[in-house]
Amino acid sequence: MSALAALLHVGCIIGGPDWYRFFGAGEELARAAERGSPMPAVITAGIAAVLAIWSAYALSGAGVLPRLPLLRTALVAITAVYLLRGLVLAPLLVLQPQAVHGFTLWSSLIVLAYGLVHATGTALGWRSMAPKPPLGAASAR
């Protein structure tokens, strides 16, 4: 899921202002891209890079990639970011319902789903993701 999001961000860089608008990045970013400013591409590339790293951690936790450093800690942190970003919708709906537009609603729900999937995967794989003792370490009996 994070890899797909990373690819969509790269697509925005390639697709330009119309893609920034379509995916709800905001008119300011779309106009900056129209002016040829590197700022939208730099910001979007940074987000894509973070999402690609998060994807690698998810795949590592699933056993598809080799174990990455601080795997469980990273997955808990990634899950928390996704869940918090998704749950920001609730107070917005109560405190500033006028600020909730289509993009805010859909992106929050999508990110909340990402968080729930990450939480489930992290919980199910928790034991298998435990750090392995170094070779030759004495076993505790």
* pLDDT tens per residue, range 50-96: 999 999 999 999 999 999 999 999 999 999 999 999 999 899 888 88
For the entire predicted model, the pTM comes to 0.86
Under 8 Å between Cβ of 69 and 56: no
Whole-number pLDDT of residue 104: 83
Whole-number pLDDT of residue 63: 94
Is 101 a residue whose pLDDT tops 90? Answer: no
Phi/psi region, residue 138 (left: phi>0; alpha: psi -120 to 50; beta: rest), is beta
Q: What is the mean pLDDT of the chain?
A: 92
pLDDT digits (tens, 9 = 90+) for 119-141: 999 999 999 998 887 776 665 55
Give me the residue spans of the domains in the chain. 2-129
Under 8 Å between Cβ of 44 and 58: no
Whole-number pLDDT of residue 109: 93
How far CA 95 is from CA of 88, 92, 98, 105, in Å, comes to: 11, 5, 9, 14
DSSP labels for 114-140? HHHHHHHHHHHHTGGGSPPPPTTPPPP
